[in-house]
Amino acid sequence: MKNILTMKPYLAIPIRDCGEPLVPIAPDLLVFFEPHPYAKLGADYGKASPWMLRKGVAEALVKAQKKLDEERRGWKIKVFDAYRPNTVQMFMVELEFVKQAEIVNIDPKVLKNGSICLFKNDPELYEKLAEKVFRLWALPSDDPDTPPPHSTGAAIDCTLTDSSGMEIDMGSPIDENSDRSLPGYFDASTDAAKNRALIKSIMLGAGFHQNEKEWWHFSFKDQMWAWIERKKSGDNSICAIYGRCE
């Protein structure tokens, strides 16, 4: 597998955490996937709530919703996932390893419990699957210098709903591990491309940056955000102000 900093170069960005707390996402302004998609799969959040963000990030999200309402009256940002403890990140990565193993017809008996440790004990199998898994998913990490974006409370996965409450066509579902997840995958003339352009516009207008590989993922002043901001501005002094919350 490629070096993780080659795959996830934003992890090299320094973090100077501002110390803001996690706060609830405004339930009166936005809508949410219910039940929570990962909790439904068995992810254990313990006492944590996935519907939390750092205070400054939550405020930026409200700004994005107000901007959306100005452009599309009655439309809502629909939150798929926000704060994600590292334990949940590990759970979801293990599920993705199992999914990718099944796609390439690995014997289910080999998978056992789907533990990432099992895959690491079989280097050939791990190498075969890891590059595809980490193409989409961030690496679970207990290192405070390399937190998964969602464990900082500064990343959000979301889509849009129209005034009737229906999700609009984005061309592919959230978390699909394929090229269709790339923000610019569809021709600009398609409805999916136009809808992706809309969500990008309202989120960037509120200060977020979009994950270059996932149309649904937006970050605000975490490592990924700072990495993109450095590329745009040429200012290599920019750091992340949100690190791991746990």
Residue 214 designated active-site: yes
Q: Taking 70 as the threshold, does the pLDDT of residue 166 lie above it? A: yes
pLDDT-derived band at 99 (thresholds 50, 70, 90) equals confident
**Is the Cβ–Cβ distance between 142 and 150 less than 8 Å?**
no
Cα 176 to Cα 61: distance, rounded to the nearest angstrom:
23
**How big is the chain, counted in residues?**
246
Q: Taking 90 as the threshold, does the pLDDT of residue 115 lie above it? A: no
CA distances from 49 to 120, 176, 213 (A): 30, 23, 26
Average confidence (pLDDT) over 204-233: 98
Domain boundaries, the chain: 4-233
pLDDT tens digits for 171-213? 999 999 999 999 999 999 999 999 999 999 999 999 999 999 9
DSSP state of 222: S
Fold of the CATH domain 4-233: Muramoyl-pentapeptide Carboxypeptidase; domain 2 (3.30.1380)
Cα 196 to Cα 216: distance, rounded to the nearest angstrom:
8
Instruction: Tally the C-alpha atoms within 13 A of residue 94's C-alpha that lie toward its C-beta.
Output: 19
Query: Quick check: helix, strand or coil at residue 84?
Result: coil
**Beta strand extents in 162-216 (DSSP E only):** 209-210
pLDDT for the residue 4: 65
pLDDT-derived band at 36 (thresholds 50, 70, 90) equals very high
In the set 59, 167, 212, 214, the catalytic residue is 214
Average confidence (pLDDT) over 13-34: 96
pLDDT for the residue 111: 55
Q: Is 54 exposed, middle or buried, given 0-12, 13-18 or 19+ CB atoms closer than 10 A?
A: buried
Count of other CB atoms within 10 angstroms of residue 53: 28
Average confidence (pLDDT) over 111-116: 54
Question: Which position has the token pair 């405020």?
Answer: 59
Cα 135 to Cα 131: distance, rounded to the nearest angstrom:
6
Residue 240's DSSP bridge partners are: 15
Cis link prior to 35 (omega < 30° from 0)? yes
Q: Is 57 exposed, middle or buried, given 0-12, 13-18 or 19+ CB atoms closer than 10 A?
A: buried
Q: Which helix (H) or strand (E) element contains residue 219?
A: strand 217-219
